[in-house]
Amino acid sequence: MLKLSILSLTFALSQSPDSLYQLGNNYYVNEKYDQAINIYEEISSRFEHEDLYLNLGNSYYKVGDLGNAIWSYEKGQLLSPRDNDINYNLNFVRNQIRDRIILPDNFFLISFYRAILEKLTLLDLIATSGLIFLTLGIVFIAKDFDLLSKRITSLINTILLFIIISNGLIMLDKYWNISDQKSGVVLSIESNVRSSPINRGENIVFLIHEGTKIEIITEESGWYEIVLLDGKKGWIPMNEVRTI
């Protein structure tokens, strides 16, 4: 699905990027996908928006570039993790890549927590904190006007305190995820993952393929040390990965 509009406020400080965006959309509709990619990439170098990344991912998919398509949808999902179009397209393309990483079994509460965390943005959590403190203020006002009994007020305050602490911890976890962790997508058709950042035939530990998402631990002289979701680690050349 092609998204045809972006809030013009997003591009207020640019020189007619909305016109560029519409030009990219016209190229896409007319099946000139390479030209559309060039336009969308130019815009994305200056601005970010989930619709832009959705269209960019769709264009890359149309030309058979699954790695960049997944990268684009991943970028869009970071901005809007509950966007149905982005999530559907991302899962659709993921099912077409070669690597099938089997995740280790986790305690169901941990899996549930991670699933919820992925669907929330930092702004969602900040807004939740604001609502909690607003509710707390209303409770204090109601108490001052004797609209609530001391027992009910105490119960509500206890519940809100628990929610405030929990939300604060979740905010810290989310902030750590988006600020300290670095991830990327493999763009090469096939990449050799090595035991050390040296290009020798005997140090290949496993292979990964186009479209696989990796977490980046560190970097050294043109190499990334990476870890997969199943815990496998190794080194891969930087030019074979596009960071998210």
User: Which percentage of the chain shows pLDDT scores above 70?
Assistant: 92
Handedness of CA 35, 41, 47, 52 (dihedral sign): positive
**pLDDT beyond 60 at 221:** yes
At residue 2, the pLDDT reads 61
At residue 114, the pLDDT reads 79
Mean pLDDT of 15-42: 92
Just give the CATH number of 182-243.
2.30.30.40
Per-residue CA distances from 170 to 146, 161, 164, 165 (Å): 34, 14, 10, 9
Question: Do the Cβ atoms of 219 and 235 come closer than 8 Å?
Answer: no
At residue 12, the pLDDT reads 40
* Pairwise pLDDT comparison (171 vs 56), residue with the higher score: 56
- Cβ-Cβ contacts under 8 Å for 75 (sequence gap 6 or more): 44, 48, 53, 244
**pLDDT beyond 60 at 21:** yes
At residue 239, the pLDDT reads 96
pLDDT tens per residue across span 130-139: 999 999 889 8
CA distance 236 to 20: 35
Q: Which of 41-45, 85-89, 182-186, 199-203 has the lowest mean pLDDT?
A: 199-203
Residue 148: which pLDDT band, with cuts at 50, 70 and 90? confident
At residue 3, the pLDDT reads 59
**Pair of tokens at residue 241:** 């990965």
Which of the residue ranges 10-19, 67-76, 200-209, 225-234 has the most confident prediction, judged by mean pLDDT? Answer: 67-76
pLDDT tens per residue across span 183-211: 999 999 999 999 999 988 788 999 999 99
**pLDDT beyond 90 at 8:** no
Write down the mean pLDDT value for the chain: 88
DSSP 150: H
Closest CA to 101 of 231, 189, 244, 191: 231
Q: Which of 72-86, 155-169, 173-187 has the lowest mean pLDDT?
A: 173-187
- Structural domain boundaries in the chain: 8-94, 108-179, 182-243
Q: Which of 14-18, 34-38, 64-68, 229-233 has the lowest mean pLDDT?
A: 14-18
Q: For domain 8-94, which CATH number applies: 1.20.140.10, 2.40.30.20, 1.20.1250.20, 1.25.40.10?
A: 1.25.40.10
At residue 183, the pLDDT reads 94
Enter the pTM of the model: 0.77
At residue 105, the pLDDT reads 65
Q: Which of 11-25, 111-125, 146-160 has the lowest mean pLDDT?
A: 11-25
Block residue for tokens 């403190």: 133
